[in-house]
Structure 1
């Protein structure tokens, strides 16, 4: 009778191990792949931000020309992981009024940005099922360029027993303000020059002079 009880106990342990061990293995595999997916998302975010910094440089930085893509020259020990995405040169005469109302640098170009982004992100863990959405807004004095990346990844194992779906969606968003400060200053100066030669400009000058006179009188009354 005692031996029979031990056999029952061993059988119960074997049943528990048979049930729990696969779930434990699947849980470890799930955590492993979730960590890879989190790393992929961080990598995706970094690649988006890097791409935007280089992609807009032709508009925001004087005498900078955007390269066709970002390259990583040299060996890792020599700083080979430092990207190079632009050149300090101008392809033609600088026009201070280019892009005031239009898309200077052709930023709002889906194909061009995708190629540029892929030159940065060619070392990501996963590159399949990736889509980019561009949101480009022109506010005249500044432009807003936002890109959202979405990627579908899948667990290689069936984890439905844990209540987890096979497919997983990774998203990342980066935004940058595109402002050509030199061009904006020249544009404002140009607008002021034009305004000075009009009747409205003369009225504005007269109004400013009257305001100055009133200000001086008030200062006198106040003992200033």
Structure 2
């Protein structure tokens, strides 16, 4: 008799759906939240990398051509000569400029702009710090570096964790400072100095011969007649 009751109870499937839902639904909820969080994280990272890269490119252009920043600061009024001394001093910027270039207000503006990036209000970058915002002067060339560190906090705290799960991330961009007109002027000046010396003239003659021989070789390879 007891065996029949036991078999009957084992065949009874009432309540199985509730038990399965109790186990499966929390797991599915966690998976969905995790996927949303990871997607938002990659989106934030891409946007922050883009903001840092844009900042480095803009300030590299400011350093390469100080007149761009001068016009922006003066509402594009060329007649305003209040900063003419700064423009004159900037002519020698490639010799002595190195390290920090942006002021504290500009750094704070970048940190604020990074803090406003986010798809969800409660999952935005926190503890943002711009550790580099200046020029790297390597004598023969210069670059502009911008680096920022930040934290992304997981919106849910697990039972077995004392605090929220935090990802420590950073974004860095080093943009070359290119000033074609300045480069051409420097090359022309160097050529002028070389041409005024006897050894320089001999070196130019050797380079000319080497160039002619190279052109002849290219013509032979291409099947062209001299």
Q: TM-score, normalised by structure 2?
A: 0.65
Give the drift of 1:34.
1.7
- Distance in 1 (alpha carbons) for counterparts of 2:100 and 2:62: 10
Residues 1:128 and 2:126 are matched in the alignment: yes
Q: CA deviation at 1:62?
A: 6.5
- Counting only pairs closer than 5 Å after superposition, residues 111-190 of structure 1 correspond to structure 2 as 111=104, 114-118=107-111, 120-121=113-114, 123-125=116-118, 126-134=124-132, 136-159=135-158, 166-190=165-189
Q: Is the contact between residue 59 and residue 180 of structure 1 (CA under 8 Å) also seen in structure 2?
A: no
Find the aligned partners of 2:205 and 2:40 in 1 and give their Cα distance.
68
What is the count of residue pairs matched by the alignment? Answer: 195
**What is the match of residue 97 of structure 2?**
103
1:4 aligns with 2:3: no
1:169-193 deviation digits (Å, cap 9, x = unpaired): 3333322111222122222223333
User: Per the alignment, do residues 132 and 210 of structure 1 end up closer, same or farther by CA in structure 2, a change over 3 Å counting?
Assistant: closer
| CA displacement at 1:159 relative to structure 2 | 4.0
Distance 1:129 1:175, change over 3 A: same
Q: Distance in 2 between matches of 1:116 and 1:59?
A: 19
Aligned counterparts of 2:152 and 2:54: Cα–Cα separation in 1: 23
Whole-angstrom distance in 2 between the partners of 1:194 and 1:47: 43
* Runs of 5+ consecutive residues of structure 1 not aligned to the other structure: 69-85
Q: Please list the CA deviations of residues 102-152 of structure 1 after superposition, one character each: whole Å capped at 9, or x if unmatched.
A: 227x75457465235236546312242122332853222321223333221
- Cα pair 1:107 1:113 within 8 Å, conserved: no
Q: Is the 8 A contact 1:145 1:177 kept in 2?
A: yes
SS of structure 2 residue aligned to 1:124: coil
Could you say which residue in structure 2 is the equivalent of 1:53?
57
Q: Give the number of the structure whose alpha-carbon radius of gyration is greater.
A: 2
- 1:130 to 1:119, Cα distance in 2 relative to 1, 3 A: closer
Structure 2 CA distance for aligned equivalents of residues 210 and 55 of structure 1:
41
Match of 1:30 among 28, 34, 46: 34
